[in-house]
């Protein structure tokens, strides 16, 4: 059979247009989950073997094995297998399952630190090569940083910057490889190259020309890599197995050569379903085999590992790699994009049990078929392993029904957008800088401009607002320029050729900033306005503690004033961000997302005027405070909390608004069916209401306490923490304590 036999449509045939191919060929599925098949025998065997390896890995603190002296490239390793004869989809990052590759391009010190901190020896020759002869991203960044940038970083008013790790979050459209084969993609890139620039060689044109050449070289390398596994990927995939395999090879090239923080695979379900459906229709495969291949693909995504440093693990706890896989969503023509393969992918959480990776993300809308919404709610409740994003907002704001999520909540149009990831600024700490005239409350260093501090026994609201604006002005400028340095150097020293090879040459680039501590900043403003906050100063006159005398409105309780205040902060900061020059004239965005760095941020942040205690974790992402400050916390239940979050203006936070919620099963209803229905109804309402994202956990705090005490009983307990899921036992004790202290709603 010819590779395109039976496919409809023309536009996608002559130039790269995967979306057009999908729209012309996919089969919407409106039924329920009754067609699904259990795990195949091969799946059982492979999964058993993998679980053994995971167990070894767990015993060795998350590191099964590490390379020490093979700088990872697309072609650096021999082929590797779990159990070769059982695998329908093949390909590992290195030659051994779970072995972590050596990736020095981001920074040789980090690569060496990852080795040494995990008990491996660093290699002198590699150290010499990547110090004396080959400069790395990290060195480049620090060569250009200003003292102010270093101070802001050291004092953690800006934290988690991708200057010591790969920025990630770039999703190649790996489907292109399956649909077109690599030769066509190389030819298209060569055509692009001939049209980059109008002959006038401005710096940006020269840079782009070099990048496209790098992409072409990467494509050739991928072709070579595939031959190691016995595949010729020159031509398009001819059947479902090849389609899955080709797509995975594209992704594999990325994770072989790049260790970005988030290495997402994008939106592949409707695309792959077209091939699966064709094979099913032609009687080439059975449903059991379809599920087998999907299970095997997902198993591969569960195996992705990167060598990390302890500092990195503190920021992003539980070894996440964000192999985010987006499913479902609506089409602009009113059909949903739900296919049987969207079910199959969710079903992997049953066939192989819950798992943090891939980071399964449902692009949700109340317009999705009820069968799918119900099934997804069921899986969410059962596994606490999936997340939901508002597909109606995505389509409206990104102008496409082919969006995917990178990392946790960052939207990107497949093949057309890339993101410059930028970590986050701590706006809770900024509140304290506003009060203390730019002096850090923990280190006592003058980090911000030498503004006048606020004096007086209590805080004047109007005075505070002016000062807070001044600090945000300063912070936004410094932050964006710090990121400008980072992304310039990342492009220079650690360019992601294999990912960008699967994208348009002319990209839309977003410049993603981020905000930490929105709820604490909001509550602090409300406290200053309404709480008559008394200031306590240390011997140097530095404000170090705050005592609100009166109750005040807080964010997370559906209070109009507090929620409007959160939106004001967001809008003001974003406006300042937008004023700045951004690298490659990228489009500035921001996110309300902390991942698990909320713990690190909180540790670095002193007492806040809302009554939150110094050192306590910030609430993650856009979550309301769950701290025990006298007047704090979600007091009005799940729906009130969701309402507050839903009011946050997505147009001001187009990099996403993360919301993680834990619901006591009993709060959802008394039996499973009721719980599933209620959860689905809650989500329908929340997303219709403008909520952007929901991480759903369904369990009790008691379960976590038991898992904390008896980890051996819960090897696979998976929970959503903040835009991603982790195995509970892989969290640090600190992170476990934070998760346990979070609100578990026992009522709606």
CB distance 521 to 612 below 8 Å: no
Give the three-state DSSP class for 341.
helix
Bond preceding residue 252 cis, omega within 30 of 0: no
Q: What contacts 255, CB < 8 A, 6 or more positions away?
A: 93, 263, 304, 306, 321
Closest approach, Cβ 129 to a copy of itself, in A, equals 6
Shorter beta-carbon distance to a copy of itself: residue 34 or 194: 194
Please report, as residue ranges, which positions from 544 to 603 form the binding site for a copy of itself (by CB under 8 A).
580-581, 583
Q: Which of 15, 61, 146, 550 is close enough to bind a copy of itself by CB under 8 A?
A: 146
| Residue 228 makes contact with a copy of itself by CB under 8 A | no
| Residue 133 makes contact with a copy of itself by CB under 8 A | yes
Shorter beta-carbon distance to a copy of itself: residue 489 or 595: 489
Please report, as residue ranges, which positions from 391 to 430 form the binding site for a copy of itself (by CB under 8 A).
none
Shorter beta-carbon distance to a copy of itself: residue 108 or 638: 108
Closest approach, Cβ 255 to a copy of itself, in A, equals 18
Closest approach, Cβ 130 to a copy of itself, in A, equals 8
Closest CA to 320 of 263, 252, 254: 263
* CA–CA separation, 268 and 248 (whole Å): 10
Give the three-state DSSP class for 3.
coil
> Which of 171, 379, 408, 739 is an active site residue?
408
CB distance 523 to 565 below 8 Å: no
| Residue 127 makes contact with a copy of itself by CB under 8 A | no
Q: Which of 1, 116, 201, 396 is close enough to bind a copy of itself by CB under 8 A?
A: 201
Q: Which of 48, 55, 143, 628 is close enough to bind a copy of itself by CB under 8 A?
A: 143
Q: Which stretch binds a copy of itself (CB under 8 A): 36-44, 459-467, 480-488, 740-748?
A: 480-488
Site string for a copy of itself, 616-655 (x = CB under 8 A): ----------------------------------------
DSSP code at position 671:
S
Q: Which of 53, 96, 122, 129 is close enough to bind a copy of itself by CB under 8 A?
A: 129
- Number of chain residues interacting with a copy of itself (CB under 8 A): 41
| Residue 460 makes contact with a copy of itself by CB under 8 A | no
Is the backbone of residue 547 left (phi > 0), alpha (psi -120 to 50) or beta?
A: beta
Give the three-state DSSP class for 597.
helix
Phi, psi of 525 (to 5 degrees): -65, -40
Q: Which of 32, 148, 183, 561 is close enough to bind a copy of itself by CB under 8 A?
A: 148
| Residue 202 makes contact with a copy of itself by CB under 8 A | yes
Q: Which of 10, 34, 59, 200 is close enough to bind a copy of itself by CB under 8 A?
A: 200
Closest approach, Cβ 213 to a copy of itself, in A, equals 4
DSSP code at position 260:
B
> Which of 16, 171, 208, 407 is an active site residue?
407
Q: What contacts 43, CB < 8 A, 6 or more positions away?
A: 292, 295, 296, 299, 351, 352
| Residue 209 makes contact with a copy of itself by CB under 8 A | yes
Q: Which of 18, 64, 66, 71 is close enough to bind a copy of itself by CB under 8 A?
A: 71
Q: Which two tokens stand for residue 555?
A: 């964010």
For the residues of 165-190, what is the DSSP string, one character each? SB-------THHHHHHHHHHHHHHHH
Shorter beta-carbon distance to a copy of itself: residue 8 or 190: 190
| Residue 83 makes contact with a copy of itself by CB under 8 A | no
Closest approach, Cβ 482 to a copy of itself, in A, equals 8
Q: Which of 191, 492, 613, 713 is close enough to bind a copy of itself by CB under 8 A?
A: 492
- Find the farthest-apart pair of alpha carbons in the chain and give their distance in angstroms, rounded: 82
- Cβ atoms within 10 A of the Cβ of 403, count? 25
Active site residue 565: no
| Residue 214 makes contact with a copy of itself by CB under 8 A | yes
| Residue 134 makes contact with a copy of itself by CB under 8 A | yes
CB distance 442 to 467 below 8 Å: no
Bond preceding residue 714 cis, omega within 30 of 0: no
Q: Which of 478, 525, 527, 668 is close enough to bind a copy of itself by CB under 8 A?
A: 478
Shorter beta-carbon distance to a copy of itself: residue 178 or 225: 225
Q: Which stretch binds a copy of itself (CB under 8 A): 89-97, 150-158, 207-215, 739-747?
A: 207-215
* CA–CA separation, 703 and 714 (whole Å): 10
Q: Which two tokens stand for residue 191?
A: 């055509």
Q: Which stretch binds a copy of itself (CB under 8 A): 43-51, 238-246, 482-490, 641-649?
A: 482-490
Closest approach, Cβ 183 to a copy of itself, in A, equals 20
Phi, psi of 266 (to 5 degrees): 90, -150
Q: Which stretch binds a copy of itself (CB under 8 A): 259-267, 349-357, 483-491, 730-738?
A: 483-491
CB distance 254 to 496 below 8 Å: yes
CB distance 11 to 47 below 8 Å: no
Shorter beta-carbon distance to a copy of itself: residue 35 or 488: 488
Closest approach, Cβ 484 to a copy of itself, in A, equals 4
| Residue 199 makes contact with a copy of itself by CB under 8 A | yes
Closest approach, Cβ 483 to a copy of itself, in A, equals 8
- Cβ atoms within 10 A of the Cβ of 203, count? 7
Shorter beta-carbon distance to a copy of itself: residue 247 or 481: 481
Closest approach, Cβ 575 to a copy of itself, in A, equals 17
Give the three-state DSSP class for 497.
helix
Residue whose entry in the numeric block shows the structure tokens 């969290």 = 731
Estimate to the nearest angstrom the gap between the alpha carbon of 258 and the chain centroid: 16
Q: Which of 80, 97, 107, 140 is close enough to bind a copy of itself by CB under 8 A?
A: 140
| Residue 473 makes contact with a copy of itself by CB under 8 A | no
CB distance 320 to 359 below 8 Å: yes
Q: Which residues pair with 410 in a beta bridge?
A: 406
Closest approach, Cβ 142 to a copy of itself, in A, equals 8
Shorter beta-carbon distance to a copy of itself: residue 148 or 688: 148
* CA–CA separation, 450 and 563 (whole Å): 31
Active site residue 408: yes
Q: Convert 576-612 to b/e letters by CB count within 10 Å (16 or more is b).
A: bbbebebbbebebbbbbbbbbbbbbbbbbbbbbbbbb
Estimate to the nearest angstrom the gap between the alpha carbon of 170 and the chain centroid: 10
Secondary structure, 3-state, 413-436 = ECCCEEEEECCEEEHHHHHHHHHC
Return residues touching a copy of itself (CB under 8 A).
71, 73, 129-130, 132-134, 140, 142-148, 194, 197, 199-204, 206-207, 209-210, 213-214, 477-478, 481-482, 484-485, 488-489, 492, 580-581, 583
Catalytic residues: 407-408
């Amino acid at each position: 059979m010819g590779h395109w036999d039976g496919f409809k449509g023309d536009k996608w045939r002559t130039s790269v247009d995967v979306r057009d191919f999908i729209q012309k060929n996919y089969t919407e599925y409106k039924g329920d989950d009754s067609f699904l098949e259990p795990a195949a025998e091969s799946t059982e065997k492979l999964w058993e073997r993998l679980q053994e390896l995971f167990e070894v890995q767990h015993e060795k603190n998350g590191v099964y094995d590490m390379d020490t002296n093979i700088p990872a490239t697309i072609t650096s390793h021999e082929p590797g297998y779990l159990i070769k004869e059982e695998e329908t989809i093949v390909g590992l990052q290195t030659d051994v399952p779970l072995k972590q590759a050596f990736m020095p391009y981001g920074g040789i010190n980090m690569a060496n630190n990852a080795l040494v901190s995990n008990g491996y020896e660093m290699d002198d020759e590699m150290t010499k090569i990547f110090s004396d002869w080959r400069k790395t991203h990290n060195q480049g960044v620090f060569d250009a940083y200003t003292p102010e940038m270093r101070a802001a970083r050291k004092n953690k008013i800006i934290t988690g910057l991708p200057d010591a790790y790969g920025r990630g979050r770039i999703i190649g459209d790996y489907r292109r490889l399956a649909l077109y084969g690599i030769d066509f993609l190389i030819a298209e890139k060569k055509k692009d190259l001939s049209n980059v620039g109008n002959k006038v060689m401005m710096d940006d044109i020269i840079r782009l020309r070099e990048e496209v050449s790098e992409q072409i070289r990467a494509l050739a390398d991928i072709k070579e890599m595939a031959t190691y596994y016995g595949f010729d990927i020159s031509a398009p995939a001819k059947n479902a197995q090849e389609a899955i395999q080709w797509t995975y090879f594209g992704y594999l090239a990325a994770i072989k050569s790049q260790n970005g923080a988030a290495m997402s695979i994008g939106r592949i379900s409707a695309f792959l379903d077209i091939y699966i459906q064709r094979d099913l229709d032609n009687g080439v495969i059975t449903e059991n085999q379809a599920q087998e291949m999907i299970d095997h693909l997902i198993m591969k995504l569960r195996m992705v590992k990167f060598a990390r440093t302890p500092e990195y693990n503190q920021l992003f706890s539980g070894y996440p790699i964000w192999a985010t896989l987006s499913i479902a969503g609506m089409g602009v023509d009113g059909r949903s994009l739900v296919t049987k393969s969207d079910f199959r992918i969710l079903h992997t959480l049953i066939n192989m049990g819950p798992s943090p990776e891939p980071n399964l993300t449902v692009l949700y809308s109340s317009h999705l078929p009820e069968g799918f919404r119900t099934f997804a709610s069921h899986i969410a409740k059962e596994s606490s392993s999936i997340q939901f994003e508002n597909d109606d907002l995505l389509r409206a704001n990104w102008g496409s029904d082919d969006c995917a999520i990178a990392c946790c909540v960052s939207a990107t149009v497949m093949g057309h957008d890339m993101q410059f990831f930028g970590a986050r600024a701590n706006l809770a700490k900024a509140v304290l800088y506003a009060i203390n005239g730019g002096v850090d409350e923990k280190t006592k260093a003058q980090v911000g401009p030498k503004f006048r501090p606020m004096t007086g026994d209590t805080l004047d609201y109007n005075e505070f607002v002016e000062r807070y604006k001044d600090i945000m002005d300063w912070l936004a400028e410094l932050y964006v320029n710090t990121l400008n340095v980072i992304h310039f150097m990342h492009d220079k020293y650690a360019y992601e050729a294999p990912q960008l090879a699967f994208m348009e040459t002319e990209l839309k680039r977003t410049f993603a900033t981020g905000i930490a501590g929105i709820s604490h900043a909001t509550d602090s403003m409300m406290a200053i306005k309404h709480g008559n906050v008394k200031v306590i100063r240390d011997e140097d006159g530095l404000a170090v503690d705050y005592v609100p005398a009166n109750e005040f409105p807080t964010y997370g309780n559906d209070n109009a004033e507090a929620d409007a205040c959160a939106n004001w902060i967001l809008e003001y900061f974003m406006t300042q961000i937008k004023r700045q020059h951004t690298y490659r004239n990228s489009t500035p965005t921001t996110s309300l997302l902390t991942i698990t760095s909320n713990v690190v941020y909180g540790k670095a942040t002193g007492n806040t005027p809302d009554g939150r205690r110094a050192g306590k974790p910030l609430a993650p992402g856009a979550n309301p405070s769950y701290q025990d400050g006298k007047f704090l916390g979600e007091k009005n239940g799940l729906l009130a909390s969701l309402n507050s979050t839903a009011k946050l203006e997505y147009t001001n936070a187009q990099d996403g608004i993360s919301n993680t919620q834990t619901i006591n099963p009993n709060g959802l209803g008394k039996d499973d069916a009721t719980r599933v229905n209620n959860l689905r109804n809650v989500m329908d309402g929340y997303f219709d209401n403008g909520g952007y994202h929901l991480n759903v956990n369904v369990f009790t705090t008691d379960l976590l306490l038991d898992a904390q005490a008896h980890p051996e009983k819960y090897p696979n307990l998976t929970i959503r923490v903040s835009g991603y899921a982790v195995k509970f036992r892989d969290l640090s004790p600190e992170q476990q304590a934070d998760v346990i202290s979070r609100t578990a709603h026992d009522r709606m």
